[in-house]
Amino acid sequence: MRIGIYARVSTKDQSCELQVPDLRQEHDTKLGRDVAIKVLPEAFAHDAERLARFQREAKMLAQLNHTNIAAIYGLEDSNGTSYLVMEFVAGETLAQRIKREGAVPVGEALTIAKQIAEALEAAHEKGIIHRDLKPANVKLTPEGKVKVLDFGLAKAFAGDTSTEDMGNSPTLSMAATMQGVILGTAAYLSPEQAKGKAVDKRTDIWAFGAVLYELLTDKPAFHGEDVGDILAAVVRAEPDWQALPATLPSTIRTLLSRCLRKGRRQRFSDAADVRIEIEDAIAAPKDSGAAQAVPASTGKLLLESER
């Protein structure tokens, strides 16, 4: 089906669907480039206030201009159908990469993590929080560049609790888990999200830590048989620090523990600090040594201090 000036691209590359319903690769017939189209839920068409709110959010998100962030080109309408036009990013997601090859070597994982941190830093400087950072929302291009997808769309779609797949509603609460939230989102929620509390940029710092942990170990930092178990682990349990590679620099072990502390006041407060730590680790001599395991209690500090 053709939408406006955009023609559907036939492809066998499943990664182009970005693992999100109603998101597909199209060809811009005016500018001669491929784009990703996200059709807004039908509920938006019947709610002028909601659509206006989404338009305001989309306008702000379109101002993000960073090499490691997939760009939003605009919000358009064709015959009553509203849709986002976004940068099409070729390649595979980190989720696909991990599934295909398992744990990512330390050096490559740090290079990927550095680019994710740079994307967070740029967005946070503009007051934009991702809210749904996870391996399925990070792509690796064939040239090896990282592109973070869906920046800020969690907030833009907030309030959409219709009968759609809840995987489209990245910001969740304990109540939302009763509505069929997909497992792939719950494992990367921060404790404050799991409790239904307000979020800030430290929520993205937590998710960053969860993504880096999975890159290095080939398993989620927090897991369980169902969404309720996973969110309980997020709130109460610790990652298996022994699963980290023996060759991982001690500074990165400490970085992970600080990203994944339950009390957000004990986490890194700024993505720039995370980036600098990773840059230092990459630049350090290769024989600088691996670390002692992170104490199991490190993530439990000052839980009562969380705002």
Give how far the C-alpha of residue 84 lies from the chain's centroid of Cα atoms, to the nearest Å: 18
| Pairing mode of beta strands 138-140, 92-93 | antiparallel
Residue spans of alpha helices (H) in the chain: 42-45, 48-61, 94-101, 106-125, 153-156, 183-186, 191-194, 201-217, 227-236, 250-259, 271-283
Distance CA 143, CA 90 (A): 10
Distance CA 200, CA 13 (A): 35
CA-CA distances (angstroms) from residue 265 to 95, 103, 307?
29, 30, 8
Stated length of the chain:
307
| Pairing mode of beta strands 23-28, 6-8 | antiparallel
- 132 carries an active-site annotation: yes
Q: Please report which helix (H) or strand (E) contains residue 77, including its range.
A: strand 72-78
Cα–Cα nearest to 115, from 271, 285, 286: 271
Half-sphere exposure of 18 (CA within 13 A, CB side): 28
Beta bridge partners of 6: 3, 28
DSSP state of 237: -
Distance CA 213, CA 222 (A): 10
Please identify which of the residues 132, 165, 200, 229 carries the catalytic annotation.
Answer: 132
Beta bridge partners of 140: 92, 146
Hey, which residues are catalytic here? 132
